[in-house]
Amino acid sequence: VGEVRDGTSRTIAFVIASPDRAVPWTKPEDINFDPANPTNGLGDADGQMYFAFADGGVMRVSESVDPTAVNAAATRSGGETVDMSVFR
């Protein structure tokens, strides 16, 4: 947690990947992240996107969320300012 300089409440730690891109939690592998389309491949079987933040908070996120905010929240020490209201 000490390396999360952008703030734990402003840093995405986990996401739910769509069923076709999901990785078992026991497998040491990540989903591919595309900064040009950061929500591509995210969401559960019902199309809902959830982000878990480093502070333990979880938010259901709209598919129309600002990609710039997602990219900023996806870094732990990028120094970006994240408007958290876009995630609500």
Q: What is the pLDDT of residue 66?
A: 93
Looking at the domain assignment, is residue 87 inside a domain? no
Distance CA 62, CA 59 (A): 10
Please give the residue range of the domain that contains residue 67.
1-79
Distance CA 56, CA 13 (A): 9
Distance CA 82, CA 24 (A): 29
Alpha helices, DSSP H, located in the chain:
67-73
Q: What is the pLDDT of residue 37?
A: 94
Q: What is the pLDDT of residue 12?
A: 96
Total number of domains constituting the chain: 1
Q: Consecutive sets of 10 residues in the chain, 88 residues long: mean pLDDT of each?
A: 91 92 89 91 87 96 92 94 89
Per-residue pLDDT reduced to its tens digit, 70-82: 999 999 999 998 9
Q: What is the pLDDT of residue 59?
A: 95
Distance CA 24, CA 86 (A): 29
